Amino acid sequence: MDDLVLEATTREKTGTAVCRRMRRNGMIPGVLYGHGRKDNIALNLHDFNMFLQRMHSEHAVMKCALDGDPLDVLVKDVQRDRVSHDIEHVDLLVIDLDETVTITVPVEVHGEADRVRNYGGVLELIRRELEVECKARDIPDAIHIDVTQLKIHDVIQIKDVARIADTEFTEDPESIVLTVAAPTIHEEVAPAEEVEAEGLEEPEVIGAAKEEEEAGAEE
């Protein structure tokens, strides 16, 4: 990402109508703040999407040139439409690469547990991101977890995740990241016709019973 620079321009006009018009024209409204500054900005939607595709996480450090002024920024927030998931607004935080930041990093699973591959176990990823604290220049692309040796009912907690140099996990070390669940066993259910047949008794023939009573009376 060091060779890529996101271009941004300062925008003076704000408001819902202005932002809606910007989106129709392929631009994204945003705000850039931190280190004593706060600017309303406009970004090219296509360029920003390209950056997101190159990054492992939406919360990452990138180079941004605001009106030609180069800055190191952290993508602090990406707001999306709830239905279409289109980007509606972006918050960029100006940072010093040597300052400590708290940020969420995506979890990446590697390998395949034998009990999942051969015995029907189910790998359940409970946490897709973990929060870490580190210098801005040391933010990891992802937190890698090898699940090859896991067995049924095995659990990986934050305290079990391999440490990353110059990075600290900030959340409860007992928090579960992933687990291997036992396979689901489906019991065979008898067809409805068989169930009904088992629940029915031989019906009594009323006519036959009446004939037997009459015959007994005559005798």
Query: String of b and e for 139-158 (b: at least 16 CB within 10 Å)?
Result: bbeebebebeebebebebbb
* Contact assessment for residue 76 and residue 61, using Cβ atoms and an 8 Å cutoff: no
User: d(Cα 102, Cα 37) in Å, to the nearest integer?
Assistant: 20
Q: Where are the domains of the chain?
A: 5-95, 97-219
Tell the CATH topology of 5-95: Ribosomal Protein L25; Chain P (2.40.240)
Residue 1 has pLDDT above 70, yes or no: no
Residue 150 has pLDDT above 50, yes or no: yes
The pLDDT value recorded for residue 163 is 92
pTM summary value: 0.72
Out of 102-106, 126-130, 186-190, pick the least confident: 186-190
User: d(Cα 1, Cα 50) in Å, to the nearest integer?
Assistant: 11
Model confidence over 14-60: pLDDT tens digits?
899 999 999 999 999 999 999 999 999 999 999 999 888 887 677 78
pLDDT band at 125 (very low <50, low <70, confident <90, very high): very high
The pLDDT value recorded for residue 60 is 80
Q: Is the dihedral of CA 203, 207, 211, 214 positive or negative?
A: positive
pLDDT band at 100 (very low <50, low <70, confident <90, very high): very high
Tell the CATH topology of 97-219: RNA Polymerase Alpha Subunit; Chain A, domain 2 (2.170.120)
